[in-house]
Amino acid sequence: MKKVVEFIQKTFNTKEFIPLHEPRFIGNEKKYLNDCIDSTFVSSVGKYVDQFEEEFAKKVGSKYAIATVNGTAALHISLLLADVKKEDEVITQALTFIATCNAISYIGAKPLFVDVDLDTMGLSPKSLENFLNENCKIVNNQCINKTTKKVIKACVPMHTFGHSCRISEIKDICDNWNIVLVEDAAESLGSYYKNRHTGTFGKVGAFSFNGNKIITSGGGGVIVTDDEKLAKRAKHLTTTAKIPHPFEYVHDEIGYNYRMPNLNAALLVAQLEQLDKFCENKEELALKYEQFFKNFEGIDFIKQPENSTSNYWLQAVILEDVKTRNEFLKFTNKNGVMTRPIWKLMNELEMFKDCQSIDLVNSRICEERIVNIPSSVIL
Ligand SMILES: *Cc1c(COP(=O)(O)O)cnc(C)c1O
Give me the torsion for CA of 239, 240, 242, 244, rounded to 10°.
-10
Determine the angle formed by the axes of helices 29-39 and 47-60, rounding to 10 degrees.
Answer: 140
Interval 3-43: pLDDT, tens:
999 999 999 999 999 999 999 999 999 999 999 999 999 99
CA of 99 to the centre of ligand 1 (A): 6
Report the pLDDT value the prediction gives residue 98, as an integer from 0 to 100.
98
pLDDT band for position 294 (cuts 50, 70, 90): very high
Question: Ligand 1: does its nearest atom lie under 6 Å from the Cβ of 184?
Answer: yes
Report the nearest-CA residue for atom 7 of ligand 1.
210
Report the pLDDT value the prediction gives residue 101, as an integer from 0 to 100.
98
Strand blocks (E) in 117-273: 136-139, 142-145, 152-156, 180-184, 192-193, 196-197, 204-208, 221-225
Residues 217-242 have a mean pLDDT of 98
Single-letter code of the amino acid located at 99? A
Using alpha carbons, list the distances in angstroms from residue 2 to 17, 249, 327, 336: 15, 63, 12, 12
Report the pLDDT value the prediction gives residue 362, as an integer from 0 to 100.
98
Report the pLDDT value the prediction gives residue 142, as an integer from 0 to 100.
98
| Bridge partners of residue 371, in order along the sequence | 317, 341
Single-letter code of the amino acid located at 247? F
Report the nearest-CA residue for atom 4 of ligand 1.
71
For ligand 1, what atom is nearest to the CA of residue 219?
9
Report the nearest-CA residue for atom 6 of ligand 1.
71
Question: Ligand 1: does its nearest atom lie under 6 Å from the Cβ of 208?
Answer: yes
Report the pLDDT value the prediction gives residue 259, as an integer from 0 to 100.
98
Contact 45, 238 (CB under 8 A): no
Judging by DSSP bridges, how do beta strands 152-156 and 89-93 pair with one another? parallel
Cα separation, 137 vs 159, in Å, equals: 27
Question: Ligand 1: does its nearest atom lie under 6 Å from the Cβ of 199?
Answer: no
SS3 content of the chain, % helix, strand, coil (to 5): 40, 20, 40
For ligand 1, what atom is nearest to the CA of residue 97?
13
For ligand 1, what atom is nearest to the CA of residue 70?
9
Q: Which of 190, 211, 197 is nearest to 274 (CA)?
A: 190
pLDDT band for position 190 (cuts 50, 70, 90): very high
Using alpha carbons, list the distances in angstroms from residue 319 to 48, 297, 313, 329, 338: 44, 10, 20, 11, 16
Question: Ligand 1: does its nearest atom lie under 6 Å from the Cβ of 92?
Answer: no
Return the ∠ at Cα 164 (arms to 162 and 166), rounded to 5°.
165
Interval 319-339: pLDDT, tens:
999 999 999 999 999 999 999
Question: Ligand 1: does its nearest atom lie under 6 Å from the Cβ of 158?
Answer: yes
Question: Ligand 1: does its nearest atom lie under 6 Å from the Cβ of 231?
Answer: no
For ligand 1, what atom is nearest to the CA of residue 184?
11
Question: Ligand 1: does its nearest atom lie under 6 Å from the Cβ of 205?
Answer: no
Residues 182-189 have a mean pLDDT of 98
Residues 301-324 have a mean pLDDT of 98
The DSSP secondary-structure symbol of 261 reads P
Report the pLDDT value the prediction gives residue 283, as an integer from 0 to 100.
98
CA of 342 to the centre of ligand 1 (A): 14
pLDDT band for position 89 (cuts 50, 70, 90): very high
User: What is the pTM for the complete model shown?
Assistant: 0.97
Interval 100-137: pLDDT, tens:
999 999 999 999 999 999 999 999 999 999 999 999 99
Contact 81, 233 (CB under 8 A): yes
Interval 254-281: pLDDT, tens:
999 999 999 999 999 999 999 999 999 9
* Four-residue CA torsion sign, 309, 314, 315, 318: negative
CA of 71 to the centre of ligand 1 (A): 5
For ligand 1, what atom is nearest to the CA of residue 221?
9
**Helices then strands (H, E): number in the chain?**
12, 16
pLDDT band for position 70 (cuts 50, 70, 90): very high
Question: Ligand 1: does its nearest atom lie under 6 Å from the Cβ of 261?
Answer: no
